Amino acid sequence: MMKQFSVILIISFLTAFEGQAQQGDFYDISRLPFTSDEFDEFAPAFYRQGIVFTTNRREEFLISRLTDEGERLFNIYYADKRESGKWRKPELLDKSLRSNYHDGPVSFSPDGSKIYFTRNIPGSGREASKLGIFMAEYSDGGWINITPFPYNSSNYNVAHPSICSDGKTLYFSSDMPGGYGGMDIYSSTLQAYSWSPPVNLGKEINSGHDEVFPYIHPGGRLYFSSDNNTPGSLDLFFSIFRNNRWQSPVRLPEPFNSEADDFGFIASRELVNGYFTSNREGSDNIYSFVSTFPVFSQCDSIREPQLCYVFFEKTAEKIDTTTLYLEWDMGDGTRIRGMEAEHCFEDIGTYQVRLDVVDIITKEVQSNVAYYNFTIPRIEQPFITSPDTAYVNQQIRLDASETYLRNFDVDEYYWEPGDGIRATGEEIFHTYTDPGIYEIRLGVLSDPDSPYGQQRRCVYKNIVILASPAGNTEINSQPGPSH
């Protein structure tokens, strides 16, 4: 969606499993109480104990800043939460960040000492002007040293900043020449004391339409909105930088996306809560979301059972082996000659292992030296049964039926295949759309009414996804861009 003003151009702003919970079922959303039907509130950013957002609401009773055409100007506001969880009344973030033009959206450095914000590039009087990104520093209770981003231009728009968690890479939207369509997403890296020339994120992210409102999550995911799928209506997507390239974007499910414009997404580090913007109720409003998918912070690598052993019977040393020989019966159909037997069993279980004395000539068993009921125990853990390697667009089965946990009555199985999709069930079917190395996570919760109380356990294993059966794709794990 584009909002056109005479003084400014503002761009306003996972796979389902049959028989299992849908991806969107894992979230609860609610509209923030201070949003309104009369004004627009959009593009939240985390700040202190609340959020900073952009709005054209009135600053005072019956007073609003207007353009020459009578449209309200956008300002940067802050709303924080009380300890009770209730929101305080939003207020102007700082008068020093208010101009005679549109101001916002914003992004903050990790320590909150710098702000990056969108503003009209000042023109002659209040004439129409392009958008640019500006930066300021926090000092003595206010924002000072407002400076323009060096790649602002009076010929095109540069907007919607999002700074990485290390403060070194800035993501933004622009319709500068050389892009793929309308607005594309670019990045620029702080090198010493200067910003590198903008780099287009490429055709994996950008299309012939508009890609706007980027948000780089501390975990490395890039969230943004695009009208590529449904021209004229913005949808939320995310992409992961893997194998030295951005992967094909994944469209967020309902309730994040709707038939209206959905944009301005931010999330906590653990992706369990956050905010986004939508005009699904007629005006741009900010919504909060909370994940109902359990958090499994401590996940162990899958442990495979020990199946290989060496057997030795000391009492057999006194046996005369000139006319006799020693033979081990491993209990699984395998026989091994010698005083010592090295053997790998195929699976866990109990095996009847014997050491016999056999006549060299007749091959008859003369006596039994030792007899064991040898047990290879099950490992107490959730267990993932899956292939180690598969191909793009190949449906694979992820199975948790081999899970073994004593005093643990499993209430539900929770899957995260590593590509942003979530699902529940003892068995699921999944398809990867991009090659790479993925970490499959399986979490289990016990019955809350169990005499042992509700418990949780989690394990993970890696799976390699290749481009195609005929391809010779090299899978690596090189680091992505700076976060």
If DSSP states are collapsed to H, E and C, what string results for the chain? Answer: CCEECCCCEECCCCCCCCCCCCHHHHEEEEECCCCCCCCCEEEEEEECCEEEEEECCCCECCECCECCCCCECCEEEEEEECCCCCECCCEECCHHHCCCCCEEEEEECCCCCEEEEEEECCCCCCCCCCEEEEEEEEECCEEEEEEECCCCCCCCCEEEEEECCCCCEEEEEECCCCCCCCCEEEEEEEECCEECCCEECCCCCCCCCCEEEEEECCCCCEEEEECCCCCCCCEEEEECEECCEECCCEECCCCCCCCCCEEEEEECCCCCEEEEEECCCCCCEEEEEEECCCCCCCCEECCCCCCEEEEECHHHHHCCCCCEEEEEECCCCCEEECCEEEEECCCCEEEEEEEEEEECCCCCEEEEEEEEEEEECCCCECCCECCCEEECCCEEEEECCCCECCCCCEEEEEEECCCCCCEECCEEEEECCCCEEEEEEEEEEECCCCCCCCCEEEEEEEEEEECCCCCCCCCCCCCCCCC
Q: What is the mean pLDDT of residues 368-380?
A: 93
Q: Identify whether 381 is part of a domain.
A: no
Say what the pLDDT of residue 298 is: 81
More confident residue, 387 or 482: 387
Say what the pLDDT of residue 60 is: 55
Same domain for 212 and 102?
Answer: yes
Q: Identify whether 382 is part of a domain.
A: no
Q: What is the mean pLDDT of residues 359-370?
A: 90
Instruction: Look at strands 103-108 and 114-120 and give their pairing.
Output: antiparallel
289: tokens are 């979301």
Banded pLDDT at 24 (limits 50, 70, 90): low
Say what the pLDDT of residue 128 is: 56
Say what the pLDDT of residue 297 is: 76
Say what the pLDDT of residue 473 is: 43
Same domain for 215 and 313?
Answer: no
Banded pLDDT at 4 (limits 50, 70, 90): very low
Domain encompassing residue 200: 3-291
Q: Identify whether 164 is part of a domain.
A: yes
Q: Is a pLDDT exceeding 60 seen at residue 19?
A: no
The contacts of residue 454 (CB under 8 Å, 6+ apart) are 411, 445, 446, 447, 448
Say what the pLDDT of residue 475 is: 43
Q: Identify whether 383 is part of a domain.
A: no
Q: Identify whether 217 is part of a domain.
A: yes
Mean residue pLDDT across the chain:
87
Same domain for 117 and 61?
Answer: yes
Q: Bridge partners of 142? A: 139
Specify whether the CB–CB gap between 296 and 34 falls below 8 A. Answer: no
Banded pLDDT at 5 (limits 50, 70, 90): very low
Say what the pLDDT of residue 348 is: 92
What's the pLDDT tens digit per position in 111-155?
A: 999 999 999 998 745 555 899 999 999 998 899 999 999 999 999
The contacts of residue 155 (CB under 8 Å, 6+ apart) are 130
Share of the chain above pLDDT 70, in %: 88
Give the whole-angstrom CA distance, residue 246 versus residue 81: 36
Q: Identify whether 105 is part of a domain.
A: yes
pTM tops 0.85:
no
Q: What is the mean pLDDT of residues 67-85?
A: 82
Same domain for 204 and 175?
Answer: yes
What's the pLDDT tens digit per position in 77-113?
A: 999 998 888 999 999 999 999 998 899 999 999 999 9
Q: Bridge partners of 341? A: 311
Q: Specify the amino acid at residue 454.
A: Q
Q: Is a pLDDT exceeding 90 seen at residue 217?
A: yes
Same domain for 236 and 129?
Answer: yes
Same domain for 287 and 310?
Answer: no
Say what the pLDDT of residue 420 is: 76
Q: Is a pLDDT exceeding 60 seen at residue 20?
A: no
Instruction: Write down which residue in 341, 376, 411 finishes a domain.
Output: 376
Q: Is a pLDDT exceeding 90 seen at residue 477?
A: no
- Assign residue 249 the CATH number of its domain: 2.120.10.30
What's the pLDDT tens digit per position in 419-472?
A: 878 899 999 999 998 888 899 999 999 988 888 888 999 999 999 999 877 544
Q: Identify whether 474 is part of a domain.
A: no
Specify whether the CB–CB gap between 190 and 170 falls below 8 A. Answer: yes
Same domain for 287 and 311?
Answer: no
The contacts of residue 402 (CB under 8 Å, 6+ apart) are 383, 385
Same domain for 361 and 408?
Answer: no
- Assign residue 451 the CATH number of its domain: 2.60.40.10
Say what the pLDDT of residue 470 is: 59
The total of structural domains in the chain comes to 3
Q: What is the gyration radius of the CA atoms in the chain, in angstroms?
A: 31
Instruction: Of 101-110, 132-141, 200-209, 242-251, give the lowest mean pLDDT range.
Output: 242-251
Q: Is a pLDDT exceeding 80 seen at residue 480?
A: no
Instruction: Write down which residue in 321, 341, 376 finishes a domain.
Output: 376
Instruction: Write down which residue in 267, 291, 315 finishes a domain.
Output: 291
Say what the pLDDT of residue 474 is: 42
What's the pLDDT tens digit per position in 40-64?
A: 999 999 999 999 999 998 765 444 4
The contacts of residue 140 (CB under 8 Å, 6+ apart) are none
Same domain for 269 and 320?
Answer: no
* Nearest of 100, 13, 91, 4 to residue 47 by alpha carbon: 91
Q: Is a pLDDT exceeding 60 seen at residue 478?
A: no
Alpha carbon of residue 290 to chain centroid: 15
Banded pLDDT at 349 (limits 50, 70, 90): very high
Same domain for 244 and 323?
Answer: no
Same domain for 337 and 434?
Answer: no
What's the pLDDT tens digit per position in 260-309?
A: 999 999 999 988 899 999 999 999 999 999 998 888 878 999 998 999 99
227: tokens are 């009208």
Same domain for 316 and 174?
Answer: no
Q: Is a pLDDT exceeding 90 seen at residue 388?
A: yes
Q: Is a pLDDT exceeding 70 seen at residue 66?
A: no
As to burial, measured by CB atoms within 10 angstroms (0-12 exposed, 13-18 middle, 19+ buried), residue 79 is buried
Q: Identify whether 472 is part of a domain.
A: no
- Output the CA angle 322-325-330, nearest 5 degrees: 170
